[in-house]
Amino acid sequence: MNIYKEALEMHKKNVGKIDIISKVKTNNEHDLSLAYSPGVAEPCRIIAKNPEELNTYTARGNMIAVVSDGSAVLGLGNIGARAALPVMEGKCVLFKQFGGVSAFPICIDSQDNEVVISTIKMLEPSFAGINLEDIAAPRCFEIEDRLKRET
């Protein structure tokens, strides 16, 4: 079997390459009360009063978004956001496997710089970092420069 057929089967069998797994047990009502309601209200109150505590009480400090618009994907070119998703999932696998960083693929269905920049800015509360991936030059540099200045 060639590598392309094998990769296609692997992607199909696993329905992608990444998953979200809980760090905490939720085996009973008490566990659920701690992980969700009503217990979750306490870290929310602390973060509301002291936003700098966000990374203390959430996974945000070890989470990044791998963001692409699909305009310059590997050797495939401008294949768009949907077709870029398998590559972004693969990049997330690399971050976790080799860096211990939780990464989530975000494929933006627009190649308009303003839309991409605005979307990334709105994601900031959820992610400690943004990895711009497979966005065509020179737009990728313009987006990066703006985000550095404006966030």
Residues with catalytic annotation?
36, 91
How buried is 120 (Cβ within 10 angstroms: 0-12 exposed, 13-18 middle, 19+ buried)?
Answer: buried
3-state secondary structure of 127: coil
Q: Nearest CA to 85 among 101, 102, 73?
A: 73
Q: Nearest CA to 140 among 70, 84, 46?
A: 70
Q: Nearest CA to 111 among 142, 151, 150?
A: 142
Element (H, E) at 88: helix 80-99
CA distance 101 to 69: 22
Tokens 């306490």 correspond to 42
